[in-house]
Amino acid sequence: MRFCVDAHAIGRHLTGNEVYIKNLLHGFAALDDSSEFITYLSEPGAAHEIPERFGRRYVAPNPFLRLGYELTNRLRKDCPDLIHVQYTAPLGCPVPVVVSVHDISFVDHPEFFPMARVAQLRVTVERTIKRAARVLTPSEFSRREILRTYRVEPDKVLVVPNAVSSEYRPRSREQAAAFVRRRFGIAQPFILTVGDLQPRKNQTGLICAFEKLLAAYPELPHHLVIVGKEGWRGGEVRRRAEHSPAAERIHLTGFVSDEDLKWLYAACEIFVFPSFYEGFGLPILEAMASGRAVACSNATAVPEVADACAILFDPSSTRDMTLAMRDLLIDAELRSRIERLGVQRAASYSWRSTAGRTLEVYYEIAARKSAAKSFTVKSVPVS
């Protein structure tokens, strides 16, 4: 079998999309040594992130060139059994498509995106979902939303959960704190959040809750560390932090490497995830796997991922968020219990399992294609 994967996200700081496809490819390498895998990359430096035996082809980072022309031409030359994409397939795609759609927040909450981006996604994602042989999504919440919005056959949409890399595991807090002190100049205990700076991630709401926390409990020495690159309207988060009465205690790191991130998780006192909308919420599992207690929103797919292993709050309520942080910071017994539960929860997710279930879909679609070819050949009259 020959499978092609659109891996243009690797090396481009596309956060969840990049983490997903990178871990999936390494899972494939561990599980399937008989099939041929070809990856389509947009960053030359991304080659070292790809399993060594996988083929590499380079396509333009510009989506109009990549999706409108280059991928289609590549697929005609490579003749794979299918292509796996995230959200959008190339125009005129000559092979079966497997698409991963992590969420459809652009439909449910268009206010979280630029208008042009919403218009583009509504057209291209719908076209891809209708065209795809199979749609993969990481949560039951996202599956319900996809079925409700696009009215496709239920059997077409399959839940294949994301997972957490083995790089995220409990580490010595003292060792991690020393790393963070050297790398970021943060010597105090801190609350951590991770996510691109954008309205959907609700960092401004977290800053407000952090201010309330310090006002009510001035004895707390904690700082707030916000990790993530600046996305659409991300400047609003930066300005809110700069003008906060707690500005000296708020740190925006920008994008950080995976190596830095694992130490930040390990060093934090607690992890808070205040997002309004998620199709999964991978940072929740990363923090849990790192042995840190999690407080997170009770919206969309987040409770499905966190289960009963985190403190949930209403992301629209500053009071709820403040109380959740207070409870975890002040009650050491509660914090310890949530940490233990989180480690167990994260261990139930595996990229190997995710890759295995995805490969099952690949082989199903490839078998379908082979059967169709066989039928076509047998149907041709012999002269």
CATH 3.40.50.2000 domain locations along the chain: 2-163+350-367, 173-347
pLDDT at 374: 52
Average pLDDT over residues 167-171: 96
Q: Taking residues 252-279, what's their average pLDDT? A: 97
> Could you give the percent of the chain with pLDDT greater than 70?
97
Locus of tokens 């952090």 = 210
* 111, burial (CB in 10 Å: exposed 0-12, middle 13-18, buried 19+): exposed
**Measuring CA to CA, which residue among 351, 367, 379, 356 is closest to residue 133?**
367
User: Which positions ≥6 away from 161 have C-beta within 8 Å?
Assistant: 138, 139, 280, 349, 354
What is the amino acid identity at position 62?
A: N
What fold is seen in the domain 2-163+350-367? Rossmann fold (3.40.50)
Residue 383 has pLDDT above 90, yes or no: no
Beta partners for residue 295, in sequence order: 272, 311
Given the DSSP bridges, would you call strands 36-41 and 55-58 parallel, antiparallel or unpaired?
parallel
With cut-offs at 50, 70 and 90, classify the pLDDT of residue 13: confident
End-to-end Cα distance, the chain: 31
Going by C-beta distance under 8 Å and a sequence separation of 6 or more, which residues neighbour residue 306?
A: 281, 284, 294, 296, 312, 345
Instruction: Please give the pLDDT value at position 381.
Output: 37
Reported pTM: 0.94
User: Is it the case that residue 372 has pLDDT exceeding 90?
Assistant: no
> Which percentage of the chain shows pLDDT scores above 90?
94
Mean local confidence (pLDDT), 199-219: 98
Question: What is the average per-residue pLDDT within 254-282?
Answer: 97
Instruction: Give me the amino acid identity at 47.
Output: A
Three-class secondary structure of residue 63 per DSSP: helix
Tell me the residue type at 81: D
pLDDT given at position 98: 98
- For residue range 89-120, list pLDDT tens digits in order: 999 999 999 999 999 999 999 999 999 999 99
| CA distances, 212 to each of 36, 219, 227, 320 (Å) | 55, 13, 21, 11
Q: Which CATH superfamily is domain 173-347 in?
A: Glycogen Phosphorylase B; (3.40.50.2000)
